[in-house]
């Protein structure tokens, strides 16, 4: 199976479940005309996967997109340290939504599946000193919302309501259940 993402977290989650992956990505404009936030994130995930699937029409291709939403504002990956400070300050002491959408395509088999998982994450109050410490770890630079729940960013998390793996970058449970609903069994996974 092809993973249309450079995310080491997505690769780790899928490989730990038993998928054999090749990572192949295409650069796309990560934009969507969809009004609804969840549909917009699904559309972007689908575009990422479709760009690769068009080149490899006989392969199964999977990909995802994750965003953090706080106060109706979407937080993607930070551009710089200033961005990290602003994002973490906006998350401090409150809850936010993490939306991860996935897409699974095989053009020759006429398979195109997309779905999403929404989780609620609650943060403790974060000090400037803690943000500086976190920036020094280099961890927040490539992560939506400027934190990784599976790493040192877990220090900020008081609790989550939802799917830990979706917050990490890929809702593996929902993905596998969705495959099963589409007649792809657990035994088929190693063959993908």
How far apart are the C-alpha atoms of 34 and 37, rounded to whole Å? 7
Question: What tens digit of pLDDT does each residue of 3-12 get?
Answer: 999 999 999 9
The residue to which tokens 């920036």 are assigned: 135
Confidence of residue 141 (pLDDT cuts 50, 70, 90): very high
Residues 65-110: pLDDT tens digits? 999 999 989 998 899 999 999 999 999 999 999 999 999 999 999 9
The domain total for the chain is 1
Q: How far apart are CA 25 and CA 119, in angstroms?
A: 26
Query: Is it the case that residue 186 has pLDDT exceeding 90?
Result: no
Residue 153's φ and ψ, nearest 5 degrees, are -65, -15
Non-local CB neighbours of 7 within 8 Å, separated by 6+ positions: 64, 169, 170
Burial tier of 72 (Cβ tally within 10 Å: 0-12, 13-18, 19+): exposed
**Catalytic residue (one of 43, 65, 115, 163):** 65
pLDDT score at 68? 95
φ, ψ for residue 76, nearest 5 deg: -95, -145
Q: At what angle do helices 128-136 and 81-91 cross, to 10 degrees?
A: 130
Cβ contact 165:12 at 8 Å: no
Full residue range of the structural domain in which residue 85 is found: 2-191
Query: How much is the pTM?
Result: 0.91
Annotation says 65 is catalytic:
yes
Terminal CA-CA length for the chain: 5
CATH number at residue 77: 3.90.950.10
Residue 189 has a pLDDT of: 73
d(Cα 125, Cα 94) in Å, to the nearest integer?
Answer: 8
Are the CB atoms for 97 and 68 separated by under 8 Å? yes
């Amino acid at each position: 199976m092809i993973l249309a993402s450079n995310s080491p977290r997505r690769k780790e989650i899928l490989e730990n479940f038993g998928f054999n992956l090749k990572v192949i990505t295409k650069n796309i404009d990560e934009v969507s005309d969809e009004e609804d936030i969840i549909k917009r994130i699904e559309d972007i995930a689908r575009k990422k996967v479709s760009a690769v699937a068009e080149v490899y029409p006989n392969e199964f291709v999977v990909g995802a997109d994750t965003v953090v939403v706080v106060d109706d504002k979407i937080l993607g990956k930070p551009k710089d340290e200033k961005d990290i400070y602003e994002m973490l300050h906006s998350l401090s002491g409150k809850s936010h939504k993490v939306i991860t959408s996935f897409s699974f395509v095989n053009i020759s088999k006429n398979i195109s599946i997309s779905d999403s998982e929404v989780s609620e994450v609650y943060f403790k109050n974060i000090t400037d000193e803690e943000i500086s410490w976190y920036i020094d770890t280099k961890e927040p630079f490539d992560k939506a919302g400027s934190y990784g729940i599976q790493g040192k960013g877990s220090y900020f998390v008081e609790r989550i309501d939802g799917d830990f793996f979706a917050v990490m970058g890929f809702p593996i449970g929902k993905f596998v259940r969705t495959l099963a609903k589409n007649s792809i069994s657990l035994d088929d996974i190693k063959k993908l």
